[in-house]
Amino acid sequence: MNKRAYNLAYFLKESKTLFKIDFLSNIFSIISIGLILFILSLVLLGWRVSSYVIQIVEREGEINVYYDLSLQEKDINYLMEDIEKIEGVSSTSLVSQDEAYNRMAEILGKEAGILELFDENPFTPFIEVKIHIEEVDSILDELESMLGIDYIRDNKNIIDRLQNILIILKVLGVLALVAIGVSTLIVVSHIIRQGIYNNRDQINTLELLGAPDIFIGFPFILEGVFLTLLGGVIAFILLKLVLGLGYSKFFTALPFLPLPAEESLLIPIGIFILLLSGLLGIIGSLFGLAKDNEKA
């Protein structure tokens, strides 16, 4: 047998022993690490969903121009040509009253019955203007100076609001990441300290026999990583439950809200949480061990 494998078996057994010595506090630590990582994953979830929505909305970059209903078809065509000349506009198309109705019916899906409550088609025709979103401000300025336009509906407002939410979520995300990182480190290094204290005789003896610090410390590092990884797994399971629940409810309640596929949220966030938990475990145990060295 290879010496590394031989010692690894020992290290694993040692960390199992360490885990058992302080069983209850280890279990509580795992649960609390799991919960704080779960909170982090929720913030990350919000972050990802809103940036996804912004992307979709931005890509759609379109403005609806409601023209004066008294305009003749010829005038409408002129108007469309004028709009197309504006810099940043890629195309225009006319959406008739019937088409507007059909679109809404499609969005509402099962709920389309509502539309039958109206005696006549409640929608008005409009010109759909596809634009490059970066130039939305100058385009709006130009449109406002044109004649024959009643009302302009742009999604700039929505984008702005989403972008504000995203900034908040990003700040929250970073804060959460720092807070969670720090508290995980504290929990882990405390547990490791406790383990070192419980094993001080053994550690002292190994030192007297000349064992290197890495040999003495490795089981503690394993224990720390084990704690945080289990916490990460708990966070992952909770995230999966919440996502499953959220998706089944959201899709029926808000069918037109663009949401990324469930897996495209779960997998990257899950991997991130697990990697982060492993990393925090290593750093936390090193902290726990380092403090010991100073005191010795």
Partner 1 sequence: MIVAKDVSLTYQDGTQALKDVNLRIKAGEIIYITGPSGSGKTSLLKLILGMEYPTEGHLRVMGQSMVKDEEDNIRKLRRKIGPVFQEFKLIRGRTAFENIVLGMRFLDFTPKEIIENSYMALERVGLKHKRDSLVDKLSWGESQRVAIARAIARKPSLILADEPTGNLDLDNALNIMDILTSLRDENTTVIITTHATHLIEDKEEGTFIRIQEGRLKMERRGVEAYE
2, 72, 145, 157: which one binds partner 1 (CB under 8 A): 2
Residues 6+ apart with CB under 8 A from 134: 88
DSSP string of 226-295, one letter each residue: HHHHHHHHHHHHHHHHHHHHHHHHHHHH-TTS----HHHHHHHHHHHHHHHHHHHHHHHHHHHHHHHHHH
Q: Which of residues 14-33 bind partner 1 (CB under 8 A)?
A: 17
Using rule CB under 8 A, residue 6 touches partner 1 = yes
35, 42, 104, 206: which one binds partner 1 (CB under 8 A): 206
Could you tell me if 56 and 259 are in contact, meaning their C-beta atoms sit under 8 angstroms apart?
no
User: Which is nearer to partner 1, 17 or 124 (by Cβ)?
Assistant: 17
Please give the size of the binding site for partner 1, defined by CB under 8 A.
19
Using rule CB under 8 A, residue 10 touches partner 1 = yes
- CA-wise closest residue to 18 among 223, 203, 290, 231: 223
User: Which is nearer to partner 1, 123 or 218 (by Cβ)?
Assistant: 218
Using rule CB under 8 A, residue 244 touches partner 1 = no
Using rule CB under 8 A, residue 212 touches partner 1 = yes
Could you tell me if 57 and 133 are in contact, meaning their C-beta atoms sit under 8 angstroms apart?
no
Say how many CA atoms lie within 13 Å of 179 toward its Cβ: 13
The two three-digit tokens of residue 221, written as one number: 């590092």
User: Which is nearer to partner 1, 150 or 207 (by Cβ)?
Assistant: 207
User: Taking the complex as a whole, how short is the minimal distance between the CB of residue 224 and partner 1, in angstroms?
Assistant: 21
Residues that bind partner 1 (CB under 8 A): 1-3, 6-7, 10, 17, 201-202, 204-212, 215
